[in-house]
């Protein structure tokens, strides 16, 4: 299991997202996450952001070290001032190696992607996943995790990741990715549950998913807050409310500011879409494989 945070809105300092909040991703959740069975996320980290004044590609900095002690991340967080930021702390699933290429976020062209959870039966279906990929999606994969393979399955439905990708195209690609995964699982009679909390962005549109195939448990936690502006005064970080359409949105595995009431849960098995105009909408996510009988015991979440 991992933890992640995604921000979209007026440019903010990464420091205010990752370090300053009371229960921030780096200072608290990387070492002692609150809503996970395994509370340590020390198997590498990554941060990605956009600098639209320069170009449309994300800039990604990843490491195999724990986030909590990394001086480079601490330094960078004070200089990354961006309108869209992804950050992720990893707890590697058993059997998956800790390498820089296996740290999130993954990226290709304008797109960034991260995952919290585990794809059930990955070892049995990973070869078949690779076979389904077109060359662009295949070449985008550098590592060996279920998370990055999911990114490949998503990219498979993007016409040209190196060109302009619209929000709608991303939504469709995400839905198709779920269909493809479902199909693979049924074909291969996978009986292990999946936990698929996902986030993907092109820098202007943000899609997140909270999902599990397991009817007996809740998906891994996923929260959001929105408003006019997110900022910190000293150690106190808040989302300023707005009566109109929000202009700033944070999605996070766990609430990290002191005012818990600012945070709303993303519903079970839902996709949350923040489009280019900052309009928020939701769609249900389901996989046909859910209707299949799974084994009673869910695997450990990685």
> How far apart, in whole angstroms, are the C-alpha atoms of residue 246 and residue 56?
23
Q: How far is the CB of 53 from a second copy (least distance, A)?
A: 8
Q: How far is the CB of 241 from a second copy (least distance, A)?
A: 26
Residue 121 region by backbone torsions, left for phi larger than 0, else alpha for psi between -120 and 50, else beta: left
Task: Rule CB under 8 A: choose which of 28, 34, 76, 286 binds a second copy.
Answer: 76
**Residue 167 appears among annotated catalytic residues:** no
> How far apart, in whole angstroms, are the C-alpha atoms of residue 138 and residue 43?
25
Q: How far is the CB of 264 from a second copy (least distance, A)?
A: 30
Residue 144 or 166 having the CB closest to a second copy:
144
- Nearest in space to 273 (alpha carbons), one of 200, 197, 206: 206
Task: Rule CB under 8 A: choose which of 64, 238, 278, 280 binds a second copy.
Answer: 64
Site for a second copy in 100-129 (CB under 8 A): 100-101, 123, 127
Residue 233 engages a second copy in binding (rule: CB under 8 A): no
- Nearest in space to 51 (alpha carbons), one of 96, 7, 25, 84: 84
> How far apart, in whole angstroms, are the C-alpha atoms of residue 17 and residue 23?
10
The CA-CA-CA angle for residues 150, 211, 14, to 5°, reads: 75
Residue 34 engages a second copy in binding (rule: CB under 8 A): no
Per DSSP, the residues of 163-200 read S---HHHHHHHHHHHHHHHHHHHHHTT--S--EEEEEE
Residue 107 or 294 having the CB closest to a second copy:
107
Residue 97 engages a second copy in binding (rule: CB under 8 A): yes
Residues 6+ positions from 34 with CB-CB distance below 8 Å = 23, 28, 254
Task: Rule CB under 8 A: choose which of 98, 172, 258, 264 binds a second copy.
Answer: 98
Instruction: Kindly indicate which of the ranges 98-106, 113-121, 239-247, 253-261 contains the residues binding a second copy, using the contact rule CB under 8 A.
Output: 98-106
Q: Which residue ranges make up the site for a second copy (CB under 8 A)?
A: 13, 31-32, 40, 42-43, 49, 51, 53-55, 57, 59-66, 68-69, 71-72, 75-76, 78-79, 81, 92, 97-101, 123, 127, 130-131, 138-139, 142-144
């Amino acid at each position: 299991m991992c933890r992640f945070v995604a921000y979209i809105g007026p440019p903010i300092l990464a420091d205010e997202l990752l370090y300053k909040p009371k229960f921030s991703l780096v200072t608290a959740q990387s070492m002692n996450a609150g809503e996970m069975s395994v509370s340590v996320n020390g198997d590498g980290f990554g941060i990605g952001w956009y600098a639209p004044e320069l170009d449309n590609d994300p800039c990604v900095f990843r490491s195999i070290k724990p986030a909590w002690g990394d001086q480079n991340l601490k330094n960078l967080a004070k200089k990354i001032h961006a309108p869209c930021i992804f950050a992720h702390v990893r707890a590697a699933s058993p059997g998956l190696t800790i390498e820089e290429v296996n740290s999130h976020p993954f990226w290709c062209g304008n797109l960034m992607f991260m995952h919290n959870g585990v794809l059930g039966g990955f070892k049995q279906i990973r070869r078949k996943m690779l076979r389904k990929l077109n060359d662009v999606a295949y070449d985008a994969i550098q590592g060996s995790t279920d998370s990055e393979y999911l990114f490949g399955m998503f990219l498979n439905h993007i016409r040209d990741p190196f060109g302009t990708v619209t929000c709608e195209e991303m939504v469709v690609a995400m839905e198709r990715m779920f269909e493809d995964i479902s199909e693979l699982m049924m074909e291969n009679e996978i009986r292990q549950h999946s936990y698929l909390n996902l986030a993907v962005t092109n820098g202007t549109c943000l899609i997140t998913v909270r999902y599990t195939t397991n009817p007996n448990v809740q998906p891994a936690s996923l929260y959001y807050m929105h408003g006019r502006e997110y900022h910190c005064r000293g150690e106190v970080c808040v989302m300023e409310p707005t009566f109109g359409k929000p202009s700033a949105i944070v999605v996070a595995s766990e609430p990290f500011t002191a005012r818990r009431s600012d945070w709303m849960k993303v519903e079970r098995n839902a996709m949350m879409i923040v489009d280019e105009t900052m309009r928020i909408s939701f769609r249900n996510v389901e996989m046909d494989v859910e209707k299949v009988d799974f084994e009673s015991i869910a695997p450990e979440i990685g």
